[in-house]
Amino acid sequence: MDKKLYLPGDYVTTIEEFFAGLGLFEENGKIYSCTSGLPKIDLKERRIDIEPVKKPKSFVKKGDIVIAQVKDIGRNVVELTLLYNETEKVEANIAAFMLIKRSKEVALRSIKPTDIVRAYVLDSEGKIMLSMRGKGFGILYALCPFCMNPLYFNEKEFRTLKCLNCGFKVNTKVSSFYLNKYKG
């Protein structure tokens, strides 16, 4: 395992070597990062955490492609934490917002706190506003709200995320770069 910067979905180690702590998830005996940050290793407990990298407000400009995590759903906006500027290849930890087009109720059916999205910057003057319009944009990684297993999609039904554990399904805006795919 490298002492490097991990991004959401990066392979980190195996469950034989470490217990997955904060910022990590297990799948098929392997441990992956679900956040971007640096590993913090406790050799005594054999535990590993990924600690988000905190950097001062980084350069974000209109049109940049970013990775962000949903923090809260308000009446008119989704509040997110911008984690990574893919265009500039820099870590970030700053607030960003996305307008809710229809109603909060509709938004709540398709997106939830902890979801990780790929979006682009609509506006960076004042508040950073994001949009998920376009094929590569949308949800990149999400967990099942009932059993907390990662949700999957297959390319035939790419507006649907499905829990392969409990069968939960959600229609949503899925990025074509969504991390977990299955053949169905």
Provide the minimum distance between the beta carbon of 146 and Zn ion in the complex, in angstroms, as a whole number.
Answer: 5
Judged by CB under 5 A, does residue 163 bind Zn ion?
yes
Judged by CB under 5 A, does residue 12 bind Zn ion?
no
133/18 Cα distance (integer angstroms) = 39
Which residue in 123, 143, 141 sits closest to 9, CA to CA?
A: 141
Judged by CB under 5 A, does residue 166 bind Zn ion?
yes
Count of beta carbons in the 10 Å neighbourhood of residue 140:
24
Three-state secondary structure call for residue 137? coil
Answer for the pair 24, 33: CB distance below 8 angstroms, yes or no: yes
* Nearest CB to Zn ion, comparing residues 118 and 162: 162
Provide the minimum distance between the beta carbon of 168 and Zn ion in the complex, in angstroms, as a whole number.
Answer: 5
CA distance to 29, 156, 167, per residue, from 70 (Å): 27, 26, 23
Binding part of the chain for Zn ion, among 7-15, 55-63, 107-115, 157-165 by CB under 5 A, reads: 157-165
Provide the minimum distance between the beta carbon of 150 and Zn ion in the complex, in angstroms, as a whole number.
Answer: 9
Provide the minimum distance between the beta carbon of 160 and Zn ion in the complex, in angstroms, as a whole number.
Answer: 14
- Kind plus residue range of the DSSP H or E element containing 110: helix 104-110
Binding mask 133-152 for Zn ion (x = CB under 5 A): -----------x-xx-----
Judged by CB under 5 A, does residue 15 bind Zn ion?
no
Q: Which residues bind Zn ion (CB under 5 A)?
A: 144, 146-147, 163, 165-166, 168
